[in-house]
Structure 1
């Protein structure tokens, strides 16, 4: 266990856990805003119940996301101080805007949304949740602006060994930012839709359930959002991967497990396994022409392999191992793409099966089980996508400028990292158990809990304690 490996593990652990809740909360915010808007437009109380019920789960995801985000920022200063010094001038502006503008706006209007249900008009109240949604998306934009610089540095100069911003507009115009932003937000929409549809499916599996129509309506909304989000995420992901062919050819080659230059046309590798020490593929199944079509939108065109790209990087940046962990990147990409296609198909088939005439989905428990289990699919896809983005950039933290080994804090020790990793792991495990327990509790309470509880309190308040039958 080296300092670098332990620091990388801690960064991966904190970021993955935090990234569980970023798309989760953004996606749920979108859905809750849509539900409350439907209530304002149609005046149907069912949509109001939906907004309040799924809004409670959104609040849980938001709270845990804030906690995990603070932990992630803390470990930057603890384990990656040299990296922070190198990019501090670049990251200062977008991260300050994220904290002072986006997060402040998000928190303010979230508070107004929570506490003003009976105090303002429905039209004004729905504006609050839309502003929360906009602010959460804006927050993601500024974070991704910083991450995009790590992928494709622009608008900077190097002074005294540090990157200094020279053009803020170039940072915002970075093509990598817009690919990442569209991909992440579309993925967040899918996450929100899949969670709502999946949790509603789990509730419909219960034989005796109060207000099943509520969950059926929620499931339908979730499937519609998942379908449109899946189309958007596949489109954005396709554009982002095409950009890698020229901008990060090593990452692209790793996602396809290509060590040697392909022929023309290039075959796509369905599944494979590589010997990373010897830099060669052990086995694999190829599909002719497909990779050329995916990369160039035509059945022709060759792709550079890892070996060729490594030689180019050695020539450009000096002698170093530029090979990323190929098997991890290769399979993470397929997990991401596979679950993306799965959610598209499940949402499309689900919508077909809930048509008014037959509604077959509700009559077959195994279909509801499949839909319920798809609750977890976007979390796996989001995590796998993040692994492709970060592992595929190895050995750089800032592509072409700063390496992982250069980034680690000089004063940390193996012992301190090991202890902090254990503490963070236990903390995250506790948060996960608490989060799941609270969501299950909300689901068991159901959408009518607040109304029933309010009616009970009103009924109790009307009882005369001196009445003859009050104590019977």
Structure 2
């Protein structure tokens, strides 16, 4: 592989790896804030224990996310200096706001949350986590503003003397139509990711009849969050598909491996055939669905790869403007499939653990549950544990599709990926840094997994003894 290939591999590995931790931090901060708010409003001790338990997992993930984020910033400057020089004037504004406002906001109030237990008023302590949750979302917004500019450049001019893109309208950058459709899609996916972790860990404890007072409300909160967030992902994804078709028609055509323009266009759930689209051996299709996804009309016309290629050659000059079609085709389907599987699992879990699922639960003679009279079979909890990796995979496939589908552009219509790589950095240097980053990420991954696994399996802290509780807690315990 040459310098460009190695630099692209480095960017892909560092970005996908870093994004494993980001959605967990965003989603968990929101769920922890909800649990602590429940404690403030009800005074029930198990909500406080739940907030502390899930907050501990949030802190571990947050710390690892910072470390991987620093590497992400470093590799931009090292392997992509021409890209950084070209877009630095525009990228600097949203990324500076993210670092100075959002990151410091969430870091400061996360510190207050860590050390403020039993020192701050309960409402003020819970407010700290809400500020953290808002801060993580603001971080996501400004980082997505930078990425959305790469997908759909707005609010800029090209300086003919320096050959750089310069910011002319910051408001246009932070109200980019690509950003406004991508942000809710990403945030809902973050909620799904954190909810899946909560579902899996809660189910693991409930299968063993442990910490039921903490895990049952956690499971219910997470399952409902997963279902509602999945609905939000579908709606926002539908909006995003139409904007993508308008701004990057090649990406939508490649997502379906559609080579010739057609109306109406069907969506292939699964297809086996040649890469050029001429020979189709087997395909499962949903009639007219692609037309609706791309245009909002069931009979809408969707441009094919060949037609878009001819138009882009006429616009930008000779070159191959097609992404790697098998990558875009399969990552698009794997993103949708793993996301829907996670949502279906959460919906099934709500049904099986609720009153409507009693007749199904009664079919299994061996029953185990977290409270007297519960009839949830063990296999339900075991299946729920598998919810954990599904949204993580969906996020990874989604980002691979987003970035790979834009190729050969690093800034769509303005700067090709081959022109953004560092000219003075050799392939050997990039290969060495890629090796170091990969080894570092393996080490960080092992640390993250062991810490999360250890604290997750240990479970929440034991409830206080009645004589150790505060007076108001003793009164609540007596009343209960």
The TM-score normalised by the length of structure 2 is: 0.90
For 1:185 and 1:299, locate their aligned partners in 2 and report how far apart those are by CA, in whole Å: 28
Q: How far apart are 1:273 and its partner, in Å?
A: 4.5
- Please list the CA deviations of residues 199-242 of structure 1 after superposition, one character each: whole Å capped at 9, or x if unmatched: 11122233xx5323322221111101111111111111111011
Structure 2 residue 380 is the aligned partner of structure 1 residue 367: yes
Secondary structure of the structure 1 residue equivalent to 2:196? helix
Does the CA-based 8 Å contact 2:256-2:329 persist in structure 1? yes
For 1:225 and 1:165, locate their aligned partners in 2 and report how far apart those are by CA, in whole Å: 39
Secondary structure of the structure 2 residue equivalent to 1:130? helix
- Please list the CA deviations of residues 305-327 of structure 1 after superposition, one character each: whole Å capped at 9, or x if unmatched: 00100000000001011110111
The TM-score normalised by the length of structure 1 is: 0.92
Q: How far apart are 1:301 and its partner, in Å?
A: 1.6
Aligned to 1:257: 257
Does the CA-based 8 Å contact 1:197-1:219 persist in structure 2? yes
Aligned to 2:341: 342
Aligned to 2:227: 227
The residue correspondences of 1:67-106 to structure 2 (distance < 5 A) are 67-106=67-106
Does the CA-based 8 Å contact 2:242-2:296 persist in structure 1? no
Aligned to 2:198: 196
Aligned to 2:295: 296
Does the CA-based 8 Å contact 1:257-1:274 persist in structure 2? no
The residue correspondences of 1:375-390 to structure 2 (distance < 5 A) are 375-390=388-403
Aligned to 1:461: none
1:371–1:312 distance in 2 versus 1, CA, 3 Å: same
Secondary structure of the structure 2 residue equivalent to 1:265? coil
1:434–1:297 distance in 2 versus 1, CA, 3 Å: same
Aligned to 2:352: 353
- Please list the CA deviations of residues 156-185 of structure 1 after superposition, one character each: whole Å capped at 9, or x if unmatched: 000021100111111112100111111111
Aligned to 2:312: 313
Does the CA-based 8 Å contact 1:82-1:409 persist in structure 2? yes
For 2:141 and 2:351, locate their aligned partners in 1 and report how far apart those are by CA, in whole Å: 35
Q: How far apart are 1:420 and its partner, in Å?
A: 1.3
Aligned to 1:183: 185
Does the CA-based 8 Å contact 1:270-1:284 persist in structure 2? no
Q: How far apart are 1:414 and its partner, in Å?
A: 1.7
Q: How far apart are 1:275 and its partner, in Å?
A: 4.4
Q: How far apart are 1:290 and its partner, in Å?
A: 2.2
Q: How far apart are 1:284 and its partner, in Å?
A: 4.5
Secondary structure of the structure 1 residue equivalent to 2:457? helix
For 1:165 and 1:290, locate their aligned partners in 2 and report how far apart those are by CA, in whole Å: 39
The residue correspondences of 1:80-159 to structure 2 (distance < 5 A) are 80-159=80-159
Q: How far apart are 1:427 and its partner, in Å?
A: 1.0
The residue correspondences of 1:202-281 to structure 2 (distance < 5 A) are 202-206=204-208, 209-262=209-262, 264-273=263-272, 275-276=274-275, 278=276, 280=278
Structure 2 residue 59 is the aligned partner of structure 1 residue 56: no
Q: Structure 2: which 5+ runs fail to align?
A: 362-367, 370-375, 469-480
1:232–1:287 distance in 2 versus 1, CA, 3 Å: closer
Does the CA-based 8 Å contact 1:137-1:185 persist in structure 2? yes
Aligned to 1:465: none
Q: How far apart are 1:448 and its partner, in Å?
A: 2.1
Aligned to 1:331: 330
Count residues in correspondence. Answer: 450
Q: How far apart are 1:356 and its partner, in Å?
A: 4.9
Q: Structure 1: which 5+ runs fail to align?
A: 456-472
Aligned to 1:14: 14
Aligned to 2:65: 65
